[in-house]
A and B are shown apart, each in its own frame.
Chain A
Amino acid sequence: MRIEYLGIEGINGPLIFIETPKEISYNEQVELILKSGEHRLGNVISVTEKITTIQVYEGTEGINIKDTKVILKGKPITLKLSEDMLGRIFDGTGKPIDDFGLLNSSIEREINGSPINPVSRTYPRNFIETGISSIDGLITLIRGQKLPIFSGSGINHNELTERIIRNASIKDSSKFAIVFGLMGAEFEVAQFFKKSFKESGVLSKVVMFQNLSNDPTIERILTPKVALTCAEYLAFDLGYQVLVVLSDMTSYAESLREISTLKGEIPSRKGYPGYLYSDFASIYERAGMIEGLEGSITELPILTMPNDDISHPIPDLTGYITEGQIVLGREMFQKGINPPINILDSLSRLMKDAITDEHNKISSQLFSSYSKVQDVRALAKVLGENDLSEIDKKYLVFGNEFENKFINQSKFERRTLEETLLLAKEILKVLPESELDRI
C-alpha cells in the first residue's frame, strides 16, 4: 500500500506535522521525498484527528512545507535481513553505507520486535570466557545475558569492549557473530573498532550499524532497534551466538529526550520522558535464549554516566533491567589500573548458576575481603598506616596486590579461568586464614 500526500503543516526540529490523512496508522513508516528528489525515512509517533506527528530520522534540513511529498507505507519500519549482512556496514537506520551495494533479500522484519514469551525462554547458564580475570572471576559474563558497562567520560571503555569481543569471539566456533550498534560515536571510535576487528580477523563476523556524532541525532533512536532485529534474525533464525554491543546508550537516551521535549510531553526525572524505563526494557529485554533454538543474544550496552553519577536516571534505570553491570571507576583509571573496573559496584546476576562451587566461594571471598580493604584504607587515612593493627596492614597489602596483579592485566594477556582462580588463591594467601571466612 502506497499513499502519497503533498504538503506539510509545520516543522519543528526533527518532527514534521501533517494534516491527518484518512488511512494513517500509529507507528507507520513514512517516506518523505524532498524537492531535490532526496528520500528520507520517518515514522508516525502520534496521531490525533487533525494532526499527525512524524519523526524524521535523517533530519529535517532542506524540507520545505510546500513541495515535500509524504508517502505512507502502510506498515511499521522494517529491516531487510540476510546472512550476507555479516561483514557489512550500515548507517543508523539500516541502509548500507559500504561499497557493496544494496542488500538482496526477501526477508523483512518489523524493527520493534515482540517480547519473548517468558515461558519460551531458557535460563542462561553458559559462561563466556573473556580472558580478563576481573570479569571471568568476579563478574562472569553469561551467554544470553545483558551486562552493561557503566563508564565515565574520558575512561577507556572502548578498549575494554574491544578486549571482550576479541577474546570472547576467538574461542568459539564459526557460528559466532557480533552486531555493533554505534550511537553518536566519534569517528575515531568507529575507526578504532574497525581496525581492531580487522587485526583480530573477526571483521567478517561483524555487522556494524553506525550513527556517528555528526550524523542526525534522531537517527540514533532507530539504531539499537535495527541492530537487535538483525541480531534476532542471526540468532533465532540462523543459530548464531550473537554478541550485541550498543555504544553509547546515553546518546540514545538523549535523543529520546529531545523528541519527547519537542512533542511537548511532561518530563519525568532530569527531563527524560516517563517511558524511558519501558523504552530501555524494549531494547535490553531482547537479549536471551529461546527453548529449542540454537542461537543466543548477549547484550553488552555501554553507557557513560553523566558526571560519573551512578544514580543518574540512565544508569539507574538500566541497572534495574539488565542482569548486573560492569562499572568503570575514575579512581582506578587514574591509578593506571587497566581495565579500570570498580569491582565493588559491579555485579553479574547470572553468574551464580553458571560457575563451579569453588569459583563461587573464591569470588565471594574476594568481594568480601576487598570491601574490607576499603574500610581499612579509610581508617588508614585517619590514623596513618603505622598505627593500623597487623591484620589491617595485611589488608592494605592484599588490596594493592589485588588491584595491581588481579584486576590490572596487560592488553594482550589472556588468562584462562583456571589461571584466574589460581591467581586469586595466591593473592588471598596474603591474608591470615582466620580472615578467610568464605572459602
Chain B
Amino acid sequence: MQLIACPWCGEREEIEFHYGGQAHVAYPDDPYALDDDQWAQYVFFRDNPKGPFAERWVHAAGCRRWFNAVRDTVTHEFLAVYDVRAPRPLLTGSAAAAQQRKGQEAS
C-alpha cells in the first residue's frame, strides 16, 4: 500500500487518509458580488491536471488534521506535503527533478 507522509505523524498507509480535492480554493470574499458564472466556477469547477496537482488530504484515522500535498496524478507520487496555510511550494531537489522528468516525457 502507498505510504503518505503526514506532516505530523510521518509515513502512514494510504487507507488512513481521506482525499479533499483541489487545494487553495478559497471561499469567495463577497459571495453576493459573484455572477452565476463565477459562482458556478467556485462550486462546480476544479482543476483536473494530468501531472502535479496541489490537493488537500486529511489524516482521518490518525491525527485527524488536514494538510496539503502536491501529488502527481499519473504516478500517484507525493512530491511535497505542506501546511494548509502555506502557499503551494516551489518544488526543489528530487521532487522538482521528478516533475521535470515528467514534463519532458509529456512533451
Are A and B a genuine interacting pair, yes or no?
Answer: no
On A, residues with C-beta under 8 Å from B are: none
